[in-house]
Amino acid sequence: MDISIRRFSVKKFINELKVKPFIIALAIPFGVQLLSYFVTRGSMDFYAQIDKPPFSPPGWLFPVVWTILYALMGISSYIVWDARSQYSKEALIIYGIQLAFNFLWSVFFFVLQSFLLSFVWLCGLFILIIIMMAAFHKVQPIAAFLQIPYAAWVVFAGYLNAGIFLLN
């Protein structure tokens, strides 16, 4: 493996940033977030009414956390794209698949209120995130490391989803 793809410099990243592709890389996950908002906005009121497990955060925290996570996804995808590794295309395909899974979880949970299906789907999403992280790591390790908060949040979301399924 070429050692040059394993090094990452923030200074070099900023100096060599390609603005248009970077904006596109950010727009993709934020587009998923916006689409998710429009699809689920009329069906989120029930969340305040259902029983939730201990350590459930307040509702306002979710969009804040997801905004940070989508920003990290966009930055990571840009790093993978910009590396132009022989593994970049495969890694970005996996990234796209997990974004679709991410979006559909919101539909299953909020629109359909199918808590068991959404929990199983979330487990699949977590597996895809781990696969994506491994693929990103082959291209540029920092791109994978930036996804650790996402993986951790999905584990926490799994706890919340399972608790909601069991309590409701």
**pLDDT per position as a tens digit, 1-13:** 444 446 788 888 8
Contact between residue 88 and residue 140 where contact means Cβ atoms under 8 Å apart: no
Give dist(CA 36, CA 107) in Å, integer: 8
**pTM above the 0.85 mark?**
yes
pLDDT digits (tens, 9 = 90+) for 15-71: 888 999 999 999 999 999 999 999 998 887 888 899 999 999 998 899 999 999 999
pLDDT digits (tens, 9 = 90+) for 114-146: 999 999 999 999 999 999 999 999 999 999 999
Give dist(CA 124, CA 121) in Å, integer: 5
